[in-house]
Amino acid sequence: MEGELENLKRELEKARSQFYIFYELTQAMRTTLRLEEISYIILTGLTAHHGLGFNRAMLFLVDEKEKTINGLMGIGPMDSEEANRIWKAIEEQKMDLYALIKAYHKIKEAEEKPKFMEFVHSLKFPLSQEAGLIYETLYEVIPLHIDVTKEGGRKYSNDPLVKKLKLEEFVIAPLWSKDNPLGIIEVDNCITHKPITEEDIKILTMFVNQAAGAIENSKVFEDTLMKAHTDSLTGLWNYGYFQYRLDEELIKAKAQNYKISVMMLDIDDFKKFNDTFGHQEGDKVLRRIGEILKDNSRKIDIVARYGGEEFTLILPYTDKEEAKIIGERIRKAIEEAKIVNTNFTISIGISSFPQDTLQKDELIRKADLALYRAKREGKNKVLLA
Protein backbone atom coordinates (compact mmCIF):
# COMPACT_ATOMS: atom_id res chain seq x y z
CA MET A 1 0.00 0.00 0.00
CA GLU A 2 2.83 2.36 0.93
CA GLY A 3 4.60 1.60 -2.36
CA GLU A 4 1.45 2.40 -4.34
CA LEU A 5 1.12 5.74 -2.56
CA GLU A 6 4.74 6.59 -3.37
CA ASN A 7 4.17 5.74 -7.04
CA LEU A 8 1.01 7.82 -7.09
CA LYS A 9 2.85 10.77 -5.50
CA ARG A 10 5.59 10.51 -8.14
CA GLU A 11 3.04 10.38 -10.95
CA LEU A 12 1.19 13.40 -9.52
CA GLU A 13 4.46 15.33 -9.18
CA LYS A 14 5.40 14.47 -12.77
CA ALA A 15 1.98 15.54 -14.03
CA ARG A 16 2.18 18.78 -12.02
CA SER A 17 5.62 19.51 -13.48
CA GLN A 18 4.46 18.81 -17.04
CA PHE A 19 1.39 21.00 -16.76
CA TYR A 20 3.50 23.79 -15.24
CA ILE A 21 5.86 23.59 -18.24
CA PHE A 22 2.85 23.59 -20.56
CA TYR A 23 1.51 26.72 -18.83
CA GLU A 24 4.91 28.47 -18.96
CA LEU A 25 5.31 27.76 -22.68
CA THR A 26 1.78 28.98 -23.42
CA GLN A 27 2.55 32.22 -21.56
CA ALA A 28 5.86 32.62 -23.45
CA MET A 29 4.08 32.21 -26.81
CA ARG A 30 1.83 35.15 -25.90
CA THR A 31 4.80 37.52 -25.67
CA THR A 32 5.27 37.87 -29.45
CA LEU A 33 3.44 37.62 -32.77
CA ARG A 34 6.55 37.20 -34.92
CA LEU A 35 6.69 33.81 -36.62
CA GLU A 36 10.43 33.22 -36.11
CA GLU A 37 10.21 34.08 -32.42
CA ILE A 38 7.09 31.95 -31.91
CA SER A 39 8.80 29.05 -33.69
CA TYR A 40 11.90 29.38 -31.53
CA ILE A 41 9.79 29.40 -28.32
CA ILE A 42 7.91 26.28 -29.47
CA LEU A 43 11.04 24.34 -30.40
CA THR A 44 12.91 25.47 -27.28
CA GLY A 45 10.00 24.24 -25.17
CA LEU A 46 10.20 20.87 -26.88
CA THR A 47 13.97 20.47 -26.43
CA ALA A 48 14.86 22.27 -23.18
CA HIS A 49 15.63 20.16 -20.11
CA HIS A 50 13.12 22.35 -18.24
CA GLY A 51 10.65 21.74 -21.09
CA LEU A 52 9.65 18.48 -22.76
CA GLY A 53 13.31 17.42 -23.05
CA PHE A 54 13.57 15.95 -26.57
CA ASN A 55 17.07 16.02 -28.12
CA ARG A 56 15.87 17.70 -31.35
CA ALA A 57 12.76 19.44 -32.62
CA MET A 58 11.95 20.68 -36.13
CA LEU A 59 9.18 22.79 -37.61
CA PHE A 60 8.08 22.58 -41.27
CA LEU A 61 5.41 24.86 -42.74
CA VAL A 62 3.24 24.55 -45.84
CA ASP A 63 3.73 27.15 -48.57
CA GLU A 64 0.47 27.00 -50.56
CA LYS A 65 1.71 29.48 -53.13
CA GLU A 66 4.89 27.52 -53.98
CA LYS A 67 3.21 24.14 -53.30
CA THR A 68 6.03 23.07 -50.98
CA ILE A 69 6.60 22.04 -47.35
CA ASN A 70 9.60 24.02 -46.09
CA GLY A 71 11.87 23.64 -43.09
CA LEU A 72 11.45 26.80 -41.04
CA MET A 73 13.59 26.03 -38.01
CA GLY A 74 15.29 23.24 -36.11
CA ILE A 75 16.75 23.20 -32.61
CA GLY A 76 19.19 20.56 -31.45
CA PRO A 77 22.66 19.20 -32.19
CA MET A 78 23.98 17.79 -35.46
CA ASP A 79 26.00 15.11 -33.63
CA SER A 80 27.08 13.83 -30.19
CA GLU A 81 30.11 16.15 -29.98
CA GLU A 82 27.97 19.24 -30.57
CA ALA A 83 25.32 17.91 -28.15
CA ASN A 84 27.86 17.58 -25.33
CA ARG A 85 29.17 21.09 -26.00
CA ILE A 86 25.68 22.66 -26.04
CA TRP A 87 24.41 20.82 -22.97
CA LYS A 88 27.59 21.58 -21.01
CA ALA A 89 27.25 25.32 -21.80
CA ILE A 90 23.59 25.30 -20.71
CA GLU A 91 24.51 23.54 -17.47
CA GLU A 92 27.45 25.86 -16.73
CA GLN A 93 25.41 29.00 -17.41
CA LYS A 94 22.44 27.55 -15.48
CA MET A 95 20.08 28.49 -18.30
CA ASP A 96 16.41 27.91 -17.57
CA LEU A 97 13.64 27.90 -20.18
CA TYR A 98 13.31 31.70 -20.28
CA ALA A 99 17.08 32.20 -20.53
CA LEU A 100 17.15 29.85 -23.52
CA ILE A 101 14.29 31.74 -25.17
CA LYS A 102 16.00 35.11 -24.59
CA ALA A 103 19.17 33.76 -26.23
CA TYR A 104 17.39 33.79 -29.62
CA HIS A 105 18.14 37.48 -30.19
CA LYS A 106 21.88 36.74 -29.99
CA ILE A 107 21.46 33.76 -32.34
CA LYS A 108 19.41 35.84 -34.82
CA GLU A 109 22.01 38.63 -34.99
CA ALA A 110 25.03 36.32 -35.19
CA GLU A 111 26.71 36.03 -38.59
CA GLU A 112 26.91 32.23 -38.23
CA LYS A 113 23.74 30.40 -37.21
CA PRO A 114 23.70 26.99 -35.44
CA LYS A 115 24.40 24.22 -37.99
CA PHE A 116 21.23 22.24 -37.34
CA MET A 117 19.05 25.36 -37.54
CA GLU A 118 20.57 26.20 -40.93
CA PHE A 119 20.30 22.60 -42.13
CA VAL A 120 16.57 22.32 -41.35
CA HIS A 121 15.96 25.74 -42.92
CA SER A 122 17.52 24.45 -46.16
CA LEU A 123 15.08 21.52 -46.45
CA LYS A 124 12.21 21.70 -48.94
CA PHE A 125 9.72 19.02 -50.00
CA PRO A 126 7.00 19.08 -52.68
CA LEU A 127 3.42 19.43 -51.41
CA SER A 128 2.55 16.07 -52.90
CA GLN A 129 2.80 12.32 -52.26
CA GLU A 130 6.39 12.40 -53.59
CA ALA A 131 7.37 13.94 -50.23
CA GLY A 132 6.32 10.73 -48.48
CA LEU A 133 5.83 10.74 -44.73
CA ILE A 134 5.98 14.51 -44.25
CA TYR A 135 3.08 14.94 -46.72
CA GLU A 136 1.09 12.01 -45.31
CA THR A 137 1.38 13.41 -41.78
CA LEU A 138 -0.25 16.70 -42.80
CA TYR A 139 -3.58 14.89 -43.12
CA GLU A 140 -3.32 12.82 -39.92
CA VAL A 141 -5.44 13.67 -36.89
CA ILE A 142 -2.94 12.66 -34.20
CA PRO A 143 0.89 12.44 -33.99
CA LEU A 144 2.60 9.36 -35.46
CA HIS A 145 5.13 7.50 -33.30
CA ILE A 146 7.57 5.71 -35.62
CA ASP A 147 10.65 3.57 -35.02
CA VAL A 148 12.31 2.59 -38.31
CA THR A 149 14.44 -0.02 -36.53
CA LYS A 150 11.36 -2.07 -35.60
CA GLU A 151 8.67 -4.00 -37.44
CA GLY A 152 5.99 -1.61 -38.70
CA GLY A 153 8.40 1.32 -38.95
CA ARG A 154 10.87 -0.27 -41.38
CA LYS A 155 8.69 0.69 -44.35
CA TYR A 156 9.78 4.30 -43.73
CA SER A 157 13.53 3.58 -43.82
CA ASN A 158 13.87 5.01 -47.36
CA ASP A 159 11.50 7.92 -46.80
CA PRO A 160 12.99 11.30 -47.93
CA LEU A 161 12.54 12.94 -44.49
CA VAL A 162 13.89 9.91 -42.61
CA LYS A 163 16.98 9.72 -44.83
CA LYS A 164 17.77 13.46 -44.74
CA LEU A 165 17.48 13.66 -40.94
CA LYS A 166 18.82 10.12 -40.25
CA LEU A 167 15.76 9.38 -38.14
CA GLU A 168 15.30 6.24 -36.06
CA GLU A 169 12.66 6.59 -33.33
CA PHE A 170 10.69 9.82 -33.63
CA VAL A 171 7.28 11.48 -33.36
CA ILE A 172 5.87 13.52 -36.22
CA ALA A 173 2.79 15.65 -35.51
CA PRO A 174 0.48 17.58 -37.86
CA LEU A 175 -0.29 21.25 -37.21
CA TRP A 176 -3.88 22.17 -38.08
CA SER A 177 -5.80 25.43 -37.94
CA LYS A 178 -9.33 26.12 -39.18
CA ASP A 179 -9.54 22.79 -41.03
CA ASN A 180 -6.33 23.52 -42.94
CA PRO A 181 -2.91 21.87 -42.50
CA LEU A 182 -0.25 24.43 -41.47
CA GLY A 183 2.74 22.12 -41.28
CA ILE A 184 4.36 19.50 -39.07
CA ILE A 185 6.53 19.26 -35.96
CA GLU A 186 9.04 16.41 -35.64
CA VAL A 187 10.88 15.45 -32.42
CA ASP A 188 13.40 12.73 -31.55
CA ASN A 189 16.11 11.62 -29.12
CA CYS A 190 18.84 10.96 -31.69
CA ILE A 191 21.70 11.50 -29.20
CA THR A 192 20.55 9.90 -25.93
CA HIS A 193 18.32 7.28 -27.65
CA LYS A 194 15.93 7.65 -24.73
CA PRO A 195 12.66 5.82 -25.60
CA ILE A 196 9.67 8.05 -26.35
CA THR A 197 6.80 7.15 -24.00
CA GLU A 198 3.03 7.42 -24.35
CA GLU A 199 3.18 10.12 -21.66
CA ASP A 200 5.66 12.12 -23.78
CA ILE A 201 3.31 11.87 -26.77
CA LYS A 202 0.27 12.92 -24.70
CA ILE A 203 1.96 16.10 -23.46
CA LEU A 204 3.42 16.75 -26.93
CA THR A 205 -0.07 16.48 -28.48
CA MET A 206 -1.50 19.05 -26.07
CA PHE A 207 1.39 21.41 -26.74
CA VAL A 208 1.22 20.98 -30.54
CA ASN A 209 -2.48 21.91 -30.54
CA GLN A 210 -1.63 25.10 -28.64
CA ALA A 211 1.35 25.80 -30.90
CA ALA A 212 -0.82 25.53 -34.05
CA GLY A 213 -3.03 28.39 -32.84
CA ALA A 214 0.02 30.55 -32.03
CA ILE A 215 1.56 29.88 -35.47
CA GLU A 216 -1.73 30.68 -37.24
CA ASN A 217 -2.05 34.00 -35.34
CA SER A 218 1.57 34.81 -36.16
CA LYS A 219 1.07 34.10 -39.88
CA VAL A 220 -2.02 36.35 -39.98
CA PHE A 221 -0.05 39.09 -38.19
CA GLU A 222 2.94 38.80 -40.53
CA ASP A 223 0.72 38.73 -43.64
CA THR A 224 -0.97 41.93 -42.44
CA LEU A 225 2.41 43.48 -41.65
CA MET A 226 3.72 42.45 -45.07
CA LYS A 227 0.78 44.09 -46.84
CA ALA A 228 1.23 47.27 -44.80
CA HIS A 229 4.91 47.45 -45.77
CA THR A 230 4.61 46.41 -49.42
CA ASP A 231 4.17 48.70 -52.40
CA SER A 232 0.91 47.52 -53.98
CA LEU A 233 2.03 48.19 -57.57
CA THR A 234 5.51 46.62 -57.68
CA GLY A 235 5.40 44.18 -54.75
CA LEU A 236 8.63 45.74 -53.42
CA TRP A 237 9.00 47.16 -49.92
CA ASN A 238 7.54 50.65 -49.56
CA TYR A 239 9.05 53.94 -48.39
CA GLY A 240 8.07 53.44 -44.74
CA TYR A 241 9.65 50.00 -44.54
CA PHE A 242 12.81 51.28 -46.24
CA GLN A 243 13.17 53.95 -43.54
CA TYR A 244 12.56 51.42 -40.76
CA ARG A 245 15.04 48.86 -42.16
CA LEU A 246 17.74 51.45 -42.76
CA ASP A 247 17.47 52.47 -39.09
CA GLU A 248 17.74 48.81 -38.04
CA GLU A 249 20.65 48.03 -40.36
CA LEU A 250 22.62 51.09 -39.22
CA ILE A 251 22.20 50.12 -35.55
CA LYS A 252 23.57 46.64 -36.34
CA ALA A 253 26.37 48.06 -38.54
CA LYS A 254 27.51 50.39 -35.74
CA ALA A 255 27.42 47.56 -33.17
CA GLN A 256 29.18 45.00 -35.39
CA ASN A 257 31.45 47.40 -37.26
CA TYR A 258 30.47 46.63 -40.86
CA LYS A 259 29.75 48.76 -43.95
CA ILE A 260 26.41 49.59 -45.57
CA SER A 261 25.70 51.25 -48.90
CA VAL A 262 22.51 52.95 -50.05
CA MET A 263 21.59 53.08 -53.73
CA MET A 264 19.06 55.56 -55.09
CA LEU A 265 17.92 55.10 -58.69
CA ASP A 266 15.53 56.88 -61.01
CA ILE A 267 14.08 55.91 -64.41
CA ASP A 268 15.39 58.33 -67.05
CA ASP A 269 12.71 60.32 -68.99
CA PHE A 270 9.87 58.37 -67.37
CA LYS A 271 7.58 61.43 -67.27
CA LYS A 272 7.86 61.78 -71.03
CA PHE A 273 6.84 58.10 -71.49
CA ASN A 274 3.89 58.53 -69.08
CA ASP A 275 2.66 61.66 -70.84
CA THR A 276 2.86 59.91 -74.22
CA PHE A 277 1.46 56.45 -73.43
CA GLY A 278 -0.55 56.98 -70.23
CA HIS A 279 -0.29 55.82 -66.61
CA GLN A 280 -1.42 52.23 -67.22
CA GLU A 281 1.53 51.63 -69.53
CA GLY A 282 3.72 53.48 -67.03
CA ASP A 283 2.57 51.12 -64.28
CA LYS A 284 3.64 48.14 -66.42
CA VAL A 285 7.10 49.69 -66.71
CA LEU A 286 7.38 50.23 -62.93
CA ARG A 287 6.33 46.63 -62.23
CA ARG A 288 8.85 45.22 -64.71
CA ILE A 289 11.68 47.37 -63.38
CA GLY A 290 10.79 46.20 -59.86
CA GLU A 291 11.20 42.58 -61.07
CA ILE A 292 14.57 43.36 -62.67
CA LEU A 293 15.78 44.98 -59.44
CA LYS A 294 14.84 41.87 -57.43
CA ASP A 295 16.43 39.54 -60.00
CA ASN A 296 19.72 41.48 -59.99
CA SER A 297 20.11 42.12 -56.27
CA ARG A 298 21.30 39.71 -53.56
CA LYS A 299 19.21 37.94 -50.93
CA ILE A 300 20.59 40.19 -48.19
CA ASP A 301 19.68 43.40 -50.05
CA ILE A 302 16.52 45.35 -49.23
CA VAL A 303 14.83 46.63 -52.41
CA ALA A 304 12.13 49.30 -52.09
CA ARG A 305 10.09 51.71 -54.16
CA TYR A 306 10.96 55.15 -52.81
CA GLY A 307 8.15 56.93 -54.65
CA GLY A 308 7.06 57.70 -58.22
CA GLU A 309 9.73 56.35 -60.59
CA GLU A 310 12.43 56.35 -57.88
CA PHE A 311 13.68 53.14 -56.22
CA THR A 312 16.21 52.42 -53.49
CA LEU A 313 18.34 49.55 -52.24
CA ILE A 314 19.98 48.98 -48.87
CA LEU A 315 23.15 46.91 -49.35
CA PRO A 316 24.43 45.45 -46.03
CA TYR A 317 28.11 44.43 -45.69
CA THR A 318 28.90 46.40 -48.85
CA ASP A 319 31.33 49.28 -49.46
CA LYS A 320 30.99 51.84 -52.24
CA GLU A 321 33.11 50.04 -54.80
CA GLU A 322 31.21 46.77 -54.29
CA ALA A 323 27.92 48.70 -54.46
CA LYS A 324 29.01 50.26 -57.75
CA ILE A 325 29.52 46.78 -59.26
CA ILE A 326 25.97 45.83 -58.23
CA GLY A 327 24.69 49.18 -59.55
CA GLU A 328 26.35 48.62 -62.92
CA ARG A 329 24.79 45.16 -63.15
CA ILE A 330 21.34 46.62 -62.50
CA ARG A 331 21.88 49.53 -64.89
CA LYS A 332 22.99 47.19 -67.68
CA ALA A 333 20.10 44.72 -67.08
CA ILE A 334 17.54 47.52 -67.42
CA GLU A 335 19.26 49.05 -70.46
CA GLU A 336 19.20 45.68 -72.25
CA ALA A 337 15.61 44.78 -71.33
CA LYS A 338 12.70 45.44 -73.69
CA ILE A 339 9.98 46.86 -71.43
CA VAL A 340 6.57 47.59 -73.06
CA ASN A 341 8.38 47.59 -76.44
CA THR A 342 10.65 50.38 -75.21
CA ASN A 343 14.26 50.63 -74.05
CA PHE A 344 14.69 52.40 -70.72
CA THR A 345 17.75 53.58 -68.84
CA ILE A 346 18.28 54.51 -65.21
CA SER A 347 20.55 56.83 -63.26
CA ILE A 348 22.01 55.66 -59.95
CA GLY A 349 23.59 57.41 -56.96
CA ILE A 350 25.41 55.57 -54.15
CA SER A 351 26.56 56.56 -50.66
CA SER A 352 28.12 54.45 -47.92
CA PHE A 353 28.30 54.16 -44.14
CA PRO A 354 30.68 54.97 -42.48
CA GLN A 355 32.74 56.31 -45.38
CA ASP A 356 30.39 59.17 -46.34
CA THR A 357 28.49 59.77 -43.10
CA LEU A 358 27.35 58.16 -39.85
CA GLN A 359 23.82 59.62 -40.07
CA LYS A 360 20.85 57.99 -41.83
CA ASP A 361 19.31 61.17 -43.31
CA GLU A 362 22.70 62.32 -44.61
CA LEU A 363 23.32 58.88 -46.14
CA ILE A 364 20.07 59.16 -48.14
CA ARG A 365 20.75 62.80 -49.06
CA LYS A 366 24.24 62.03 -50.40
CA ALA A 367 22.98 59.10 -52.49
CA ASP A 368 20.23 61.38 -53.84
CA LEU A 369 22.75 64.12 -54.73
CA ALA A 370 24.89 61.55 -56.57
CA LEU A 371 21.77 60.38 -58.45
CA TYR A 372 20.90 63.88 -59.67
CA ARG A 373 24.51 64.51 -60.60
CA ALA A 374 24.26 61.39 -62.79
CA LYS A 375 21.12 62.90 -64.37
CA ARG A 376 22.88 66.18 -65.09
CA GLU A 377 25.94 64.44 -66.54
CA GLY A 378 24.01 62.59 -69.26
CA LYS A 379 21.91 59.91 -67.47
CA ASN A 380 22.29 56.11 -67.73
CA LYS A 381 25.22 55.99 -65.30
CA VAL A 382 26.23 55.08 -61.75
CA LEU A 383 27.93 57.76 -59.63
CA LEU A 384 29.32 57.61 -56.11
CA ALA A 385 28.76 60.26 -53.44
249-301 pLDDT tens trace? 998 898 888 999 999 999 999 999 988 889 899 999 999 999 999 999 988 99
Respond yes or no: is residue 309 known to be catalytic: yes
Tell me which of 13, 37, 309, 321 is the catalytic residue. 309
CB 326 within 8 A of CB 297: yes
24-71 pLDDT tens trace? 666 666 666 688 888 888 888 888 776 678 999 999 999 988 899 999
| Closest C-alpha among 177, 345, 353 to residue 266 | 345
Query: How confident is the model at residue 210, as a pLDDT?
Result: 83
Q: What string of DSSP letters covers 224-266?
A: HHHHHHB-TTT-SB-HHHHHHHHHHHHHHHHHHT--EEEEEEE
The model carries a pTM of 0.66
Distance CA 344, CA 367 (A): 21
Q: What string of DSSP letters covers 333-352?
A: HHHH--BTTB---EEEEEEE
Q: What string of DSSP letters covers 59-120?
A: EEEEETTTTEEEEEEEES-SSHHHHHHHHHHHHHTT--HHHHHHTHHHHHHSSS--HHHHHH
* Torsion sign across C-alpha atoms 142, 148, 150, 155: positive
Number of CB atoms found within 10 A of residue 332's CB: 14
Looking at the domain 2-227, which fold is it? Beta-Lactamase (3.30.450)
Distance CA 16, CA 175 (A): 25
Cross-strand bridge partners of residue 174: 184
Query: How confident is the model at residue 313, as a pLDDT?
Result: 96
159 — pLDDT class (breaks 50, 70, 90): very high
Segments making up each domain of the chain, as ranges: 2-227, 239-384
- Using DSSP, state whether 188 is helix, strand or coil: strand
Q: Which one has a higher pLDDT value, 177 or 176?
A: 176
User: Rg of the Cα trace of the chain?
Assistant: 26
135-151 pLDDT tens trace? 999 998 889 999 999 98
CB 188 within 8 A of CB 58: no
- Using DSSP, state whether 303 is helix, strand or coil: strand
- Using DSSP, state whether 273 is helix, strand or coil: helix
CB 196 within 8 A of CB 203: no
Distance CA 197, CA 201 (A): 6
CATH number of the domain at 239-384, please? 3.30.70.270
